[in-house]
Chain A
Amino acid sequence: MISLTDQGFDPGPLLSGFCRGRAETGAVASFTGLARAEGGETRVLELEAYPGFTEAQIGAIAETARTRFDLQDLMIVHRIGQIAPGEPIVFVATAASHRRAAFEACDYLMDYLKSRAPFWKKEHGPDGARWVEPRTQDHEDIARWA
């Protein structure tokens, strides 16, 4: 399941729900990303998406991950709109027969969400706002999967 939401979410119940009824799964890995305050530099994080296109691109990333890691299931929840520091911004869960695939798929999905999913992130701070662009680290992270 892939969803974008402008409402806050609690990762706990999402993970519990994802784990339910999985007698044959064996391994679930999850990742929760939280908005950072950057020492007071970021008061609000604003996330923009391209409705329709963003979901489709994430869907394509998810399908690639599903095949590559032989996943049984996956879940991606991503916030859009205004996000306060400390709030969850992204939640990813993966289900596989064994842990290595679940861990790696989670890692892969996050690397792709960081720099290949159509989101644009603006940090609003005390000195104004600035658009966040992918860092060198983000490009290096994604290159690991080539």
Chain B
Amino acid sequence: MARVLLFGRLSDIAGWREKTLEPSPARLSELRARLAADDAALGEALAAPGVQVALDQVLVRDDAALSTRSEVAFLPPMSGG
């Protein structure tokens, strides 16, 4: 069961902050496709420029293989201070 975390405006768009996917997707691209199939608006927001992905708390730029224990976080543009 891969775990998906949404931050900032992404969780408002989706209406959830955390979700587990069963069966677990094999790749990040498959996870994106599944989320987009469930919620087109969310799929579009996740693909927007400036949205970064952290896989097990490490930023990844490209597609990546996932395990059943992967934690995938979608991070919209950051704004601290």
Which residues of A are at the interface with B, using a C-beta cutoff of 8 A? 33, 47-48, 50, 52-53, 56, 78, 89-90, 110, 113-122, 131-134, 138
| A124 → chain B closest CB, angstroms | 13
Number of A-B contacts (CB under 8 A): 64
On whether the beta carbons of B77 and A33 are closer than 8 Å, the reply is: no
Q: CB < 8 Å: which of B7, B57, B78 contacts A52?
A: B57
Q: CB < 8 Å: which of A89, A90, A117 contacts B78?
A: A117
* Tally of B interface residues using CB under 8 Å: 15
On whether the beta carbons of A115 and B78 are closer than 8 Å, the reply is: yes
Q: If A48-B8, A56-B57 touch, does A114 touch B73 (CB 8 Å cutoff)?
A: no
> Main SS of the interface on chain B?
loop
Within 8 Å CB of A131, what residues of B?
A: 8-9, 12, 76, 79
| B13 → chain A closest CB, angstroms | 10
Q: Which residue of A lies closest to B59 (CB)?
A: A57
For the complex, give the distance between the alpha carbons of A47 and B73 in Å.
17
For the complex, give the distance between the alpha carbons of A116 and B75 in Å.
11
Which residues of B are at the interface with A, using a C-beta cutoff of 8 A? 5, 7-9, 12, 54, 57, 73, 75-81
Within 8 Å CB of B12, what residues of A?
A: 131
Q: Which of B9, B54, B75, B81 has most A Cβ within 10 Å?
A: B81
For the complex, give the distance between the alpha carbons of A90 and B81 in Å.
6
Within 8 Å CB of A115, what residues of B?
A: 77-80
For the complex, give the distance between the alpha carbons of A5 and B12 in Å.
23
